[in-house]
Amino acid sequence: MPLDTRRLTGPESSQSPYNFAPVNKLDLTQLDKRPDGRSIKKLRPLFLRTNVVSQARGSSYIEMNETKVICAVYGPREVLRREDFSLKGQLTCDFKFTTFSCRQRRQYQQDSQEKDLSVLVLEALEPAVCLHKYPKSQINIFITVLQHDGSALSAAITCASVALASAGIEMYDLVVASSAAICGSVTLIDPTAQEEDALLKATVKPDNNAGSVTVAFLPSLSQVSAISSDGELSFEILNKSMQECVANCQKLYPVLEHTLVKHQQELEAGRS
Amino acid sequence: MGDAGLSEAEKTFILHSVQDDFREDGRGNEDFRHMELETSLISNTNGSARVRLANTDVLVGVKVQLTPVDPERPEVGRLEFFIDCSANATPAFEGRGGEELGSEISAMLTRAYAFPGAVDFHSLCVLPGQQCWLLYVDVLLLECGGNLFDAVSIAVKAALFNLKIPNVTMTKDEGGVELDLSDDPFDFKRLDVSGAPIIITVNKIGHYHVVDASEKEEECSLARLMLGVTEKGTITAMRKEGSGSLDPNSISDMMEVNTRFLCLPGI
């Protein structure tokens, strides 16, 4: 491109001003109280609602303080392409962060992290859905993270399972997910974005543990439907935090049940 | 994965063989197949390796490139993984068919290498705040015979071990710093890969845990656990794959099977 000398040309690439802003560092090794006032073992309060997208077959909205996720379920509908025919139903999942959901602006197109998360959500939900009841059909799940303040994956899985249930899709069980961040000997339950970030940038000694784990659990079958971990962790610590996450999923289960009961009551009230 | 087209009887046969700890090819449940590992195969790359695990064949080439640093992490170099699922391996990979599997493998590798001790990321930074090395790790799947993730991760580690990064000399100018790449082929440095992880996949077939599953065995397993493990015994990435779910205790057992393989492919 020829250079236009009459115009004041800006730099070719630009950076976020946040890169130059001082970050308030979080010392993960000395945490008796977290920035939001929770204790290290405490979950954030969960707000769940169904029927937020009127056009969708089923939908739900989840809020864990500043993490806000909306999910819509469409289908079961006919598989369009003939070569995709199968006797088992197909589940698809589209996970998307809105461009404004994170500290840094995200791209409109789905990036590799979002693709990875889509697959993880799908794998968490697949064991719970009775796909053999939906031959030749597909069920589409669309997840949008409106605001990301940590544990977006677990929020998305929980939200999507409620949306599936509210859509009347036959399922073996609900899926509840929970996550934990680990730094040294400290395990932070339900980490916020600030805590997750601090962990990523933590300059931990080589033999120290630093990472995070997310577990998706089927509470009434007592089965783990998905597990994913990041960072460097020892076997014992990973095992221990997994058990903790499972226990937390059990704790959250009544909230999901309550939401679905309310959803059903609203449906029946609407009918009569 | 898992399109070998097995009949019910064949599946039962595999299930029974796993029960008896004597698999189709004579291995026990916790035995790996023979592995062939070659390095320095392709002269145009900075590092290359090829792994053959029975019918699985993987070729990895690493190319290095100088790039501006990531403004969020100005003191470290970067790794980028790309998996090419060649249609030579399976006709199913034709066109965009292999894209999904490719992005799954690269996502798993990215996560397994994301921790600070994987390779010396600081040594990959040429000029802190300005220039760093970007390692393009390109994986080509030549043949798929099961256990792709493990084979790919071993080949990647071998290729990084084989990597020769040319030395750079810096001269300070008025206009800034000038970088000069050494053109002497023997003037290079190596990358320390002793902390680099490999991926071990444990398949659950029936009630048993099987490592290094062949394509047929993979079709019989409903759930598998993939772990990135380092020599020290730490776990750097974990993922469950497959349409089945697992008991929490069984996950612990599978993790234990995993960690037993730590010292196995020490390169």
Q: What is the pLDDT of residues B177-236, one digit of tens each?
A: 888 888 888 888 898 888 899 999 999 998 889 999 998 899 899 899 999 988 888 889
Residue numbers of chain B with a pLDDT score lower than 50 = 1-2, 265-267
Name the token pair of A227. Answer: 């597990």
> Min CA distance, A269 vs chain B (Å)?
36
Tell me the C-alpha to C-alpha distance, in Å, between residue A185 and each of A204, A210, A221, B210. Answer: 12, 9, 31, 32
- Residue from the list B106, B114, B252 with its beta carbon closest to the beta carbon of A230: B114
Asked if the Cβ–Cβ distance from B240 to A211 is below 8 Å, we say no
Dist CA B115 CA B132 (whole Å): 18
Name the token pair of B19. Answer: 């029960």
DSSP B246: B
Dist CA B249 CA B254 (whole Å): 9
A224 contacts chain B (CB < 8 A)? yes
- Residue from the list B115, B233, B245 with its beta carbon closest to the beta carbon of A231: B115
* CA atoms within 13 Å, Cβ hemisphere of B215: 16
Asked if the Cβ–Cβ distance from B230 to A232 is below 8 Å, we say yes
Nearest one of B44, B134, B121, B18 to B75, comparing CA atoms: B121
Residue A103, Cα to own-chain centre: how many angstroms? 17
Cβ burial, residue B135 (10 Å; 0-12/13-18/19+): buried
What is the value of ipTM here, to two decimals? 0.85
Nearest one of B251, B136, B145 to B202, comparing CA atoms: B251
A127 contacts chain B (CB < 8 A)? yes
pLDDT of A153: 94
Domains observed in chain B: 8-259 (3.30.230.70)
Asked if the Cβ–Cβ distance from B255 to A235 is below 8 Å, we say yes
Which class is domain A33-271? Answer: alpha beta
A203 contacts chain B (CB < 8 A)? yes
- Residue from the list B71, B237, B252 with its beta carbon closest to the beta carbon of A229: B237
Residue numbers of chain A with a pLDDT score lower than 50 = none
Give A-chain residues touching B117 at CB under 8 angstroms: 206, 232
Beta-ladder partners of B82: B138
- Contact between B156 and B76 under an 8 Å Cβ cutoff? The reply is no
Asked if the Cβ–Cβ distance from B236 to A116 is below 8 Å, we say no
pLDDT of A88: 87
pLDDT of B114: 87
Nearest CA in chain B to A245: B248
pLDDT of B267: 45
DSSP A132: G
Give A-chain residues touching B111 at CB under 8 angstroms: 116, 230
Chain pair A-B, CB pairs under 8 angstroms: 105
Residue A160 makes CB contacts below 8 A (sequence gap 6+) with A60, A71, A73, A93, A121, A125, A141, A143, A175
Probe site for chain A from B234, B239, B250 (most A CB atoms < 10 A): B234
A139 contacts chain B (CB < 8 A)? no
Burial profile A106-141: b = 16 or more Cβ within 10 angstroms, e = fewer? beeeeeeebbbbbbbbbbbbbbbbebeebeebbbbb
pLDDT of B94: 80
Would strands B234-241 and A223-234 be described as parallel, antiparallel, or unpaired? antiparallel
A229 contacts chain B (CB < 8 A)? yes
DSSP string, B181-243: E---TT-EE----TT--EEEEEEEETTEEEES--HHHHHH-SEEEEEEE-TTSEEEEEEEESS
Would strands A67-78 and A137-147 be described as parallel, antiparallel, or unpaired? antiparallel
Dist CA B25 CA B234 (whole Å): 31
Probe site for chain B from A157, A225, A232 (most B CB atoms < 10 A): A232
Asked if the Cβ–Cβ distance from B235 to A232 is below 8 Å, we say yes
Asked if the Cβ–Cβ distance from B107 to A119 is below 8 Å, we say yes
Give B-chain residues touching A239 at CB under 8 angstroms: 252, 255
Indicate the SS3 state at residue A149: coil
**pLDDT tens for residues A139-167?**
999 999 999 998 999 999 999 999 999 99
DSSP string, B63-110: EEEEEEPBTTBTT--EEEEEEEE-TTT-GGGTTTTTHHHHHHHHHHHH
Nearest CA in chain A to B235: A233
Dist CA A205 CA A232 (whole Å): 11
Give B-chain residues touching A123 at CB under 8 angstroms: 240-243
Nearest CA in chain A to B108: A116
DSSP string, A206-222: TTS-EEEEEEEEETTTT
- Residue from the list B104, B246, B256 with its beta carbon closest to the beta carbon of A223: B246
